[in-house]
């Protein structure tokens, strides 16, 4: 979670910056104590107050319970930043945590459970305006709403159910699809997005010149994503059945790629989460490669037909579980068969036939397991 990383990174920097011999002046219930010496705090309860005008942490207030640091903590840094949080019996941050800048403006508000961000997390700008709102569930961020200083939306990622009042309209939890414009900076849109019940229906992304970079739409149960060249021509497209990411079925649909000239260069068909067919084309429009993949349990076979840029066959290869299997055929640019190789178990070469330019068999060789010929 970005909030936790921010604070932990700051703490690490402070720990590195403090000289090993620096000992702050601390008192507990009117008595001088040393937080680096457990004997001075053993069995005691109350609020320990420490000051050190020469250290990165100028002031610290920390709660002790029977000699253990448990409860509220207040830290004031050299630049005036103030951090307020609590620690549990394990020494991890727990409950509400706030960070204020040197002017006293609230800049960050977190909710934590044993060191992990849970629920609403907020980040604020220098003027106190809400810049980002996240809803966290441990290591996952379920919702993100980010704002510019003028209140317009900068980023939006929604959850399947409404989590905060701010997401009801923009995430389509009010019974109708939302229509939201996102901004890179005030007055300069970066794209649009539409959600219904937290599920993205449409999205478009613009570059700084206002040109369409990519778009996405959910249509008839299929999610279609397109990426574009600066010229506006399509660069790639995926058209897959929309499925629950954690559910069965896997990827099913088609993925395509184009050259900037507009020529289709690759098309891949998916089913049950696996590639089933791949085709590639040269820029002159001729077929470059055609591949068929068959699966049965853990076993899979792949047949690949390769072509020269004049359309003539170049090779026919067969694989089983990633290794060459059976007869492989290789042709010259005129489509005449020049060589055949037979591969057996573990992909080992067993036999080879060589043909002349007229396709007449000239020589046949057999190979042993060590590669020697007979």
Residues 165 and 196 in one domain: yes
Residues 160 and 130 in one domain: no
| pLDDT digits 0-9 by tens, 308-343 | 999 999 999 999 999 999 999 999 999 999 999 999
Burial of residue 7 (number of CB atoms within 10 Å: 0-12, 13-18, 19+)? middle
Residues 89 and 124 in one domain: yes
Q: What is the DSSP letter of 251?
A: -
Asked if 183 and 191 count as a contact pair (C-beta separation under 8 A), the reply is no
* Number of residues that make up the chain: 374
| pLDDT digits 0-9 by tens, 116-172 | 999 999 999 999 999 999 999 978 999 999 999 999 999 999 999 999 999 999 999
Which residue in 213, 226, 143, 227 sits closest to 184, CA to CA?
Answer: 213
In whole angstroms, what is the distance from residue 60 CA to residue 75 CA?
Answer: 5
When pLDDT is cut at 50, 70 and 90, the band that residue 248 belongs to is confident
Backbone angles phi, psi at 56, to 5 degrees: -60, -35
Instruction: Assess if residue 184 is contained within a domain.
Output: yes
Residues 157 and 105 in one domain: no
Residue 208 has pLDDT above 80, yes or no: yes
Residue 297: predicted pLDDT = 86
Residues 95 and 177 in one domain: no
> Considering 138, 157, 178, which residue would you say is the last residue of a domain?
138
**Mean pLDDT calculated for residue range 303-310:** 98
Q: Identify the residue with better confidence: 13 or 152.
A: 152
Instruction: Assess if residue 103 is contained within a domain.
Output: yes
How would you write 146-165 as a 3-class SS string?
EECCCCCEEEEECCCCCCCC
Neighbours of 254 (CB within 10 A): 16
Residue 19 has pLDDT above 50, yes or no: no
In whole angstroms, what is the distance from residue 76 CA to residue 83 CA?
Answer: 7
Domain holding 127, by residue range, is 1-138
Residues 82 and 163 in one domain: no
Residues 134 and 51 in one domain: yes
Residue 23: predicted pLDDT = 67
When pLDDT is cut at 50, 70 and 90, the band that residue 14 belongs to is very low
Q: Chain centroid to CA 313: how far?
A: 41
Residue 22 has pLDDT above 60, yes or no: no
Residue 17: predicted pLDDT = 43
| pLDDT digits 0-9 by tens, 64-98 | 999 999 999 999 999 999 999 999 999 999 999 99
Instruction: Assess if residue 239 is contained within a domain.
Output: no
Residue 11 has pLDDT above 50, yes or no: no
Instruction: Assess if residue 237 is contained within a domain.
Output: no
Instruction: Assess if residue 354 is contained within a domain.
Output: no
> Considering 184, 210, 236, which residue would you say is the last residue of a domain?
210
Residues 67 and 191 in one domain: no
Residues 66 and 169 in one domain: no
Instruction: Assess if residue 371 is contained within a domain.
Output: no
Q: List C-alpha distances in Å: 361 to 114, 224, 317, 354, 355.
A: 76, 51, 20, 6, 4
Residues 88 and 30 in one domain: yes
- Report the number of distinct structural domains present in the chain: 2
Q: What percent of the chain has pLDDT over 70?
A: 93
Residues 38 and 119 in one domain: yes
| Residues in Cβ contact with 86 at an 8 Å cutoff, skipping those fewer than 6 apart | 63, 71, 72, 73, 93, 94, 95, 96, 97
**CATH at residue 29:** 2.20.110
Instruction: Assess if residue 290 is contained within a domain.
Output: no
Instruction: Assess if residue 242 is contained within a domain.
Output: no
Q: What is the pTM of this model?
A: 0.79
Residues 124 and 11 in one domain: yes
> Considering 165, 188, 210, which residue would you say is the last residue of a domain?
210
């Amino acid at each position: 979670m970005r909030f936790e990383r921010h604070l932990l990174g700051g703490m690490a920097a402070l720990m590195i910056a403090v000289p090993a011999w620096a000992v702050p002046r601390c008192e507990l219930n009117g008595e001088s104590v040393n937080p680096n010496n457990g004997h001075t705090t053993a069995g005691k309860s109350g609020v320990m107050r420490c000051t050190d005008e020469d250290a990165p942490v100028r002031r610290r207030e920390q709660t002790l319970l029977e000699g253990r640091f448990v409860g509220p903590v207040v830290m004031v840094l050299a630049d005036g930043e103030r951090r307020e949080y609590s620690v549990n019996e394990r020494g991890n941050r727990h409950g509400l945590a706030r960070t204020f800048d040197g002017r006293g403006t609230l800049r960050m508000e977190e909710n934590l459970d044993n060191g992990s961000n849970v629920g609403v997390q907020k980040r604020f700008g220098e003027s106190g305006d809400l810049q980002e709102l996240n809803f966290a569930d441990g290591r996952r961020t379920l919702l993100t709403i980010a704002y510019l200083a003028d209140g317009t939306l900068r980023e939006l990622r929604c959850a399947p159910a409404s989590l905060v009042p701010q997401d009801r309209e923009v995430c389509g939890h009010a019974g109708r699809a939302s229509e939201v414009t996102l901004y890179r900076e005030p007055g300069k849109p970066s794209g649009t997005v539409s959600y219904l019940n937290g599920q993205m229906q449409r999205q478009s992304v613009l570059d700084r010149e206002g040109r369409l970079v990519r778009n996405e739409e959910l249509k008839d149960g299929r999610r279609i994503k397109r990426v574009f060249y600066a010229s506006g021509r399509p660069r790639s497209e995926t058209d897959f059945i929309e499925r629950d990411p954690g559910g069965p079925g896997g990827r099913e649909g088609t993925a395509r790629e184009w050259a900037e000239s507009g020529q289709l260069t690759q098309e891949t068909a998916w089913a049950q989460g696996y590639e089933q067919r791949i085709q590639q084309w040269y820029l002159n429009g001729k077929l470059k490669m055609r591949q068929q993949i068959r699966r049965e349990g853990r076993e899979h076979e792949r047949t690949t037909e390769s072509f020269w840029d004049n359309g003539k066959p170049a090779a026919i290869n067969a694989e089983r579980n990633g290794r060459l299997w059976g007869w492989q055929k290789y042709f010259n640019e005129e489509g005449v068969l020049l060589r055949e190789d037979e591969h057996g178990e573990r992909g080992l070469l067993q036999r080879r036939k060589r043909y002349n330019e007229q396709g007449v068999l000239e020589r046949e060789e057999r190979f042993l397991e060590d590669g020697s010929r007979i």
